[in-house]
Amino acid sequence: MNRSPYISDAPSVSNIMFKVLVALVPGIIAYVWVFGGGVLISIALATATALASEAVMLKLRKRPIQPFLMDYSAVVTAWLLALAIPPLAPWWLIVVGTLFAIVVAKQLYGGLGYNPFNPAMIGYAVLLISFPVLMTKWPAALSLAQTKLSFADQLHYIFGGLLPQDVKIDAVTSATPLDYLKTQLTLKHDITSIKAAPIFGALGGKGGEYVTMAYLLGGIYLLQQKIITWHLPIAFLSALALISGIFWIANPAHFANPLFHLFSGASLLAAFFIITDPISGPTTPKGKLYFAAGIGIITYLIRVYGGYPDGVAFAVIFMNICVPLIDAHTQPRVFGHEK
Amino acid sequence: MNALVNFAKIFKFHGGVHPPENKAQSTQLAIGQLSLPDKLVLPLRQHVGNIPKIKINVGDHVLKGELIAEAEGTVSAAIHAPTSGTVTAIEDAIIPHPSGLPDRCITITPDGKDSWIERKPQDWRNADRKTLVASLRLSGIVGLGGATFPTHIKLRADGKSGVHTLVINAAECEPYITCDDMLMRERSEQIVKGIEIAQYLLGAEKVVIGIEDNKPEAVVAMQTATTNTAMQVIVVPTLYPSGDARRLVHLVLGQEIPFDKRSTEVGLQVFNVATVLALYRYFEFGEPSLNRIVSMTGNVQTPQNFEVLFGTPLLHLVDAAGGIKSGTTHFIMGGPMMGFDLPDDNVPITKAANCIIAASPTLFAPPPPAMPCIRCARCADACPVSLQPQDLYWFAKSDNFEKARDYKLFDCIECGACSYVCPSNIPLVQYYRYAKSEIIAADRAKEAADIARERNDFRLARIEREKLERAAKHAERAQAAKQTTATASNELTGTTPETNKDAGSGDAQKTEKQAAIAAAIERAKAAKAAAAAVGEVPKNVMETSSTVKAEIAEIETRRASVGLAEKSTIDEDKQAKIAAAIARAKAQKAAAEAAKNKD
């Protein structure tokens, strides 16, 4: 019988997914430090929901449960979604989003390896469209909030919707920098005066920029571990920087600079953790460049001209649709063949 | 010259992997000699091509080096008695092949004298190339790198080959295998003489020897042996599969052999070191191919290389290496990347056996269950041919064979680099073999259908022609009858029948002409059909050489063994039907012809 090769040198799927989780840890630590422990509750809820729904779906689909639960792919989806939605949202919001991501976007399409769309982004998009108000209620950085909620307060609020007495919701939430920028620009304010607002930091949003830097750290770890290749993050960030740079140079009073775009919103989380989902992305090196650059450009256009403050989710979903086309047209030259 | 060689430019190919080499184990000891085994079992199928024709009978006494089976057809190789003794059996036995099927073998019981037949060395420097190459047909030499392609075919060049560069493949890139390494360490002088012979026979101007940098002793030995020659030793980085001929040519010459061309078409020829050494022994001493160096390694007490007579039972070799260690489950022939499980512990060593590995679960852990492909494209990064293995897998799995072919499935060299790096443990190579065999089977069915159609067209044309001929004959007879009456009446009237006669012979000419036209139409049709058949050769399928045909046979048996048998039965049904249809058509044709002859 011919079953060669007999040897193998590859990390398992579980191993790869586990390293992605490890790479997210610095970002989560920074998140907790800046915004409080509420996000840990979201992560726990999302993880539990993801594993439970994945197990049920596998059972219904008569697939082995153990190996697929242990591949950690559902956990990665859960964590990404939890990090993408406001941590003080009511508990059922993350549960609904995770259910949609795992049950519809992943398992109904055939489970691991068969989902054409990034499940976390599908979950996010469904929540954003269905519950737009809840999805924009972001907590203010603790350093900026008028009232600092303790972890117990946050827990209480997530599950009961009740804040401590005398605390108004506006005192603990704030507009995100991207959101604020957009609103103020429509009011004909110029960038310099807008960015004088306390929610802006040196690069992106105050506090939020530390979280994005921690994501960058995790991303470098993934590159070093060869879990991802440079193509996707570099092409995405370059395209985003390039298009925002062009607009900024043309009219710096009306358009934010490239650094702001790189360090605001979900840019760095997307660059290293979201658009790098291999299953819903292209596989050829050139295809990866096109795919990521497309996401960068669409993200920018949605941020500046679209109806939503951030555009990563829709940009990713749109480019997911293009993947078969991209792959088909970016086939590398095969050895011994003309181009 | 040699000071320069290490500065030679290397042209890296895409991808490749670097598995643990595991070569040190079997290079501690010099090449060992084996005692004569109790019997030698020589399969007729040891090379690519036709099986040779048996020239001896059971009971015959044979001398060492005596021809016992001669090459049959163009692509075939002779087999000789590896020692003197008696032919004790000609029967089917299990051969070292992935199928595990028995095949015809000649068994020789040695008489212990090891007495040679009269050897005829040839003064190759002063002989005609054509004669030399022709005599190679009797040498039994095949490519000893593992491909076992008959060497006389690769040299059938008579100096007009257009081959300007001879590349000597000494890369030996597969883990565990060290037979070429040891051969170069110990017999570099003979190898270089063999290279000179091959160079002379091909008329090549340039010789390049490619060796991986994990064989420093072999590099030094070859550099020393080539000091006073124009041959160039190029050290290539250790990267599997650098020993693949097309990859090696690219490494040392920077030249990609086009996918649809043989190396000779671009002026290159590639020989393995052991093969050129066999050439030397044949011309210099008149010794046909009787043995080879085999790495006996893996889970044995003392891994070592041995010079092994073809036909030696595997266990005799294992004993020479001190026997197996505990935990050995079976034996692998070849390396861990492309080798296969030997179907039986006592198969004979053949011309293809470069390495035998005693396997144990510790050395080669059974792969964990396959997970779905996560499209991570590690396989694409590892593919030395720049294919997209993840796409090919998807197409093969969904039986989308047209698409698989479009994505250059037939350029896959089955090196296993993709499987080696797959996080999901998908047996990718097995999927590609399956798809290839399915496509080849479908192409053959189509070919058969085309032949049947062609025959049918031919038959219809013939029926038409016969109808015309009958009509013509009819007319002729009618004419003749008319003429008789006319003559009779002429006799009465006294007019000459001249004019009428003329008319009659004119008719005869007409019939002849019609027949000629019909025949011409027939010929044109046949030519057209043939052209169509040729023109419809599918993309990416290299001409179905005997190599490929042999591979097809191999693949089919493999498929059967991996439980893909149902599909093939369907195909066999189809093929049987087609065969029956052809047979029917033939029978009809024969009957028609018989009828015609009666006429």
HEC secondary structure over A121-174: HHHHHHHHHHCHHHHCCCECCCCCCCCCCCHHHHHHHHHHCCCCCCCCHHHHEC
As a whole number of angstroms, the distance between CA A282 and CA A272 comes to 15
Q: What percent of chain B has pLDDT over 90?
A: 68
> What mean pLDDT is predicted for residues B71-89?
94
Task: Name the closest residue on chain A to residue B13, using Cα atoms.
Answer: A335
State how many domains chain B has.
Answer: 2
Give the confidence band of B508 by pLDDT, cuts at 50, 70, 90.
Answer: low
Q: Which residues of A are less than 8 Å from B333 in CB distance? A: none
As a whole number of angstroms, the distance between CA B234 and CA B9 comes to 9
Flag whether B392 is in a domain: no
Flag whether B232 is in a domain: yes
pLDDT of res. A126:
95
Say if B375 is an interface residue toward chain A (CB within 8 Å). yes
Contact A112 B372 (CB under 8 A): yes
State how many domains chain A has.
Answer: 1
CA A239 to chain centre: 17
Task: Name the closest residue on chain B to residue A330, using Cα atoms.
Answer: B388
Give the confidence band of B497 by pLDDT, cuts at 50, 70, 90.
Answer: very low
As a whole number of angstroms, the distance between CA B463 and CA B527 comes to 19
Q: What is the pTM of this model?
A: 0.81
> What mean pLDDT is predicted for residues A307-316?
88
Beta strands at B355-359 and B291-298: parallel, antiparallel or unpaired: parallel
A75-84, A323-332, B440-449, B573-582, range with the lowest pLDDT: B573-582
Flag whether A255 is in a domain: yes
Q: Is B302 helix (H, G, I), strand (E, B) or coil?
A: coil
Give the confidence band of B327 by pLDDT, cuts at 50, 70, 90.
Answer: very high
> What mean pLDDT is predicted for residues B455-479?
91
Contact A334 B98 (CB under 8 A): no
pLDDT exceeds cutoff 80 at A29: yes
pLDDT of res. B392:
96
Q: Residue A100 sits in which domain range?
A: 13-329
Contact A16 B423 (CB under 8 A): yes
| Residues from A in contact with B at Cβ < 8 Å | 1-13, 15-16, 67, 71, 73, 111-114, 278-279, 281, 283-284, 327, 331-337
Give the confidence band of B2 by pLDDT, cuts at 50, 70, 90.
Answer: very low
Flag whether A8 is in a domain: no
Give the confidence band of B496 by pLDDT, cuts at 50, 70, 90.
Answer: very low
Say if B339 is an interface residue toward chain A (CB within 8 Å). yes
pLDDT of res. B542:
44
pLDDT of res. A170:
74
Task: Name the closest residue on chain A to residue B366, using Cα atoms.
Answer: A6
Contact A3 B420 (CB under 8 A): no
Q: How close, in Å, is residue B287 to chain A by CA atoms?
A: 34
B93-107, B123-137, B410-424, range with the lowest pLDDT: B123-137
Give the tens place of pLDDT for each residue, B8-51: 788 999 999 999 999 999 999 999 999 999 999 999 999 999 99
pLDDT of res. B503:
46
Token pair in block for residue B523? 């010929």
Q: How close, in Å, is residue B307 to chain A by CA atoms?
A: 26
Task: Name the closest residue on chain A to residue B415, using Cα atoms.
Answer: A5
Give the confidence band of B511 by pLDDT, cuts at 50, 70, 90.
Answer: low
Q: Which residues of B are less than 8 Å from A13 in CB distance? A: 371, 374, 423-424
pLDDT of res. B357:
97
- Number of inter-chain CB pairs under 8 A, A vs B: 144
Flag whether A84 is in a domain: yes
Scanning A136-279, the segments in alpha helix (DSSP H) are 151-160, 169-172, 177-186, 191-194, 208-224, 231-250, 258-263, 267-269
Whether residue B461 contacts residue B525, with contact meaning beta carbons closer than 8 Å, is answered with yes
Name the residue facing B371 among A67, A278, A331 (closest C-beta). A67
pLDDT of res. A196:
76
Q: What is the mean pLDDT of chain A?
A: 90
Q: Which residues of B are less than 8 Å from A67 in CB distance? A: 369, 371
Flag whether A67 is in a domain: yes
Q: Which residues are registered as beta bridge partners of B340? A: B333
Q: What percent of chain A has pLDDT over 70?
A: 100
Say which residue the tokens 């030997």 belong to. Answer: B342
> What mean pLDDT is predicted for residues B428-445?
93
Q: What is the CATH number of the domain that holds B210?
A: 3.40.50.11540
> What mean pLDDT is predicted for residues B555-561?
61
The one-character DSSP state at A111 is: S
Give the residue from A283, A325, A333 with the most B CB atoms within 10 Å of its CB, the best one to mutate. A283
Q: Please, which residues 277-336 of chain B have a Cβ atom closer than 8 Å to chain A? A: 332, 334, 336
Element (H, E) at B165: strand B165-170
Q: Please, which residues 548-587 of chain B have a Cβ atom closer than 8 Å to chain A? A: 558, 561-562
Q: What is the mean pLDDT of chain B?
A: 86
pLDDT of res. A334:
95
Flag whether B196 is in a domain: yes
pLDDT of res. B504:
47
pLDDT exceeds cutoff 70 at B592: no
Give the tens place of pLDDT for each residue, B291-308: 999 999 999 999 999 999
Flag whether A184 is in a domain: yes
Contact B419 A5 (CB under 8 A): yes
Give the tens place of pLDDT for each residue, B171-216: 999 999 999 999 999 999 999 999 999 999 988 999 999 999 999 9
pLDDT of res. B532:
57
β-sheet with B232-236: strand ranges across: B232-236, B206-212, B165-170, B268-272
Q: Which residues of B are less than 8 Å from A12 in CB distance? A: 368, 371, 423, 425
Whether residue A282 contacts residue A225, with contact meaning beta carbons closer than 8 Å, is answered with no
Give the confidence band of B134 by pLDDT, cuts at 50, 70, 90.
Answer: confident
Say if B394 is an interface residue toward chain A (CB within 8 Å). no
Phi-psi region of B271 (alpha: psi -120 to 50; beta: other; left: phi over 0): beta
Q: Which residues of B are less than 8 Å from A4 in CB distance? A: 332, 334, 336-340, 416, 429
pLDDT exceeds cutoff 50 at B110: yes
Task: Name the closest residue on chain B to residue A70, using Cα atoms.
Answer: B371
Q: Which residues of A are less than 8 Å from B428 in CB distance? A: none
Task: Name the closest residue on chain B to residue A331, using Cα atoms.
Answer: B388
pLDDT exceeds cutoff 60 at B5: no
Token pair in block for residue A238? 């370059």
Q: Which residues of B are less than 8 Å from A6 in CB distance? A: 332, 336-337, 339, 359, 364
> What mean pLDDT is predicted for residues B456-473?
92
Flag whether A231 is in a domain: yes
Name the residue facing B388 among A73, A112, A284 (closest C-beta). A284
Q: Which residues of B are less than 8 Å from A284 in CB distance? A: 377, 380, 388
Token pair in block for residue A158? 């997530």
A227-241, B32-46, B468-482, range with the lowest pLDDT: B468-482
Q: How close, in Å, is residue A284 to chain B by CA atoms?
A: 8
Domain boundary pick from B258, B289, B320: B289
Give the confidence band of B567 by pLDDT, cuts at 50, 70, 90.
Answer: very low
> What mean pLDDT is predicted for residues A93-103?
97
Flag whether B64 is in a domain: yes
Give the tens place of pLDDT for each residue, A10-25: 999 999 999 999 999 9
pLDDT exceeds cutoff 80 at B169: yes
Q: Is B297 helix (H, G, I), strand (E, B) or coil?
A: strand
Say if B390 is an interface residue toward chain A (CB within 8 Å). yes
Q: How close, in Å, is residue B134 to chain A by CA atoms?
A: 32
Contact A335 B378 (CB under 8 A): no
pLDDT of res. B534:
52
pLDDT exceeds cutoff 60 at B563: no
Say if B17 is an interface residue toward chain A (CB within 8 Å). yes
Name the residue facing B416 among A5, A113, A278 (closest C-beta). A5
B79-88, B145-154, B405-414, B488-497, range with the lowest pLDDT: B488-497
Give the tens place of pLDDT for each residue, B392-415: 999 999 999 999 999 999 999 999
Contact A113 B13 (CB under 8 A): no
Q: Residue B442 sits in which domain range?
A: 433-598
Give the tens place of pLDDT for each residue, B331-368: 999 999 999 999 999 899 999 999 999 999 999 998 88
Flag whether A148 is in a domain: yes
pLDDT exceeds cutoff 50 at B578: yes
Give the tens place of pLDDT for each residue, B262-288: 888 899 999 999 999 999 999 999 999
pLDDT of res. A36:
87
Flag whether A1 is in a domain: no
Q: Which residues of A are less than 8 Å from B368 in CB distance? A: 12
pLDDT exceeds cutoff 50 at B536: no
Q: How far is CA B266 from CA B5, B236, B258, B263, B521, in A?
A: 24, 22, 9, 6, 40
Strongest mean pLDDT among B3-7, B272-276, B482-486, B526-530: B272-276
Residue A270: CB atoms within 10 Å: 31
> What mean pLDDT is predicted for residues A305-331?
92
Give the residue from A1, A4, A226, A284 with the most B CB atoms within 10 Å of its CB, the best one to mutate. A4
pLDDT of res. B515:
72
